[in-house]
Amino acid sequence: MKTGLSYHFRLVAALLVASCGPVLAQQTAPMQPAPPEPGMQPANMPPGGMPPAELPRPGSLNYVQGEVASAGQPLSPQSVGRFSLRPGQDLSTGNGYAEVLLTPGAFLRIGPHSQLRFSAVGLADTRIDLARGNALVEVDQFISGTHLEVTLAAASVDMLKKGLYGFAADPPAARVFDGKADVVTQAAHRDIGKHDQVALANNPQLKKSDFDENQAKQDQLYVWSAARSRTESEQNKLVAQNSAGYYPLADGWFWDPYADYYGFWGPGYWNSPFGFGFYGGFYPGFYHGFYGGRRGGWHGGWSHAGGWHGGHAFVGVHGNGVAGGFHGGGFHGGGGGHR
Architecture of domain 61-212: Sandwich (2.60)
Q: Indicate whether 22 pLDDT > 60.
A: no
pLDDT in tens, 191-204: 999 999 999 999 99
What pLDDT, on the 0 to 100 scale, is given for residue 286? 42
What pLDDT, on the 0 to 100 scale, is given for residue 216? 94
Is 57 within 8 Å of 121 (Cβ atoms)?
yes
In the chain, beta strands by DSSP E: 61-70, 73-75, 90-101, 106-110, 115-120, 125-132, 134-139, 147-152, 155-159, 163-169, 172-178, 180-184, 189-193, 196-199, 208-210, 252-256, 261-265, 269-271, 277-279
Q: Could you tell me the residue ranges of all domains in the chain?
A: 61-212
CA-to-CA distance for 159 and 84, rounded, in angstroms?
22
* This prediction's pTM: 0.72
pLDDT in tens, 105-130: 999 999 999 999 999 998 889 999 99
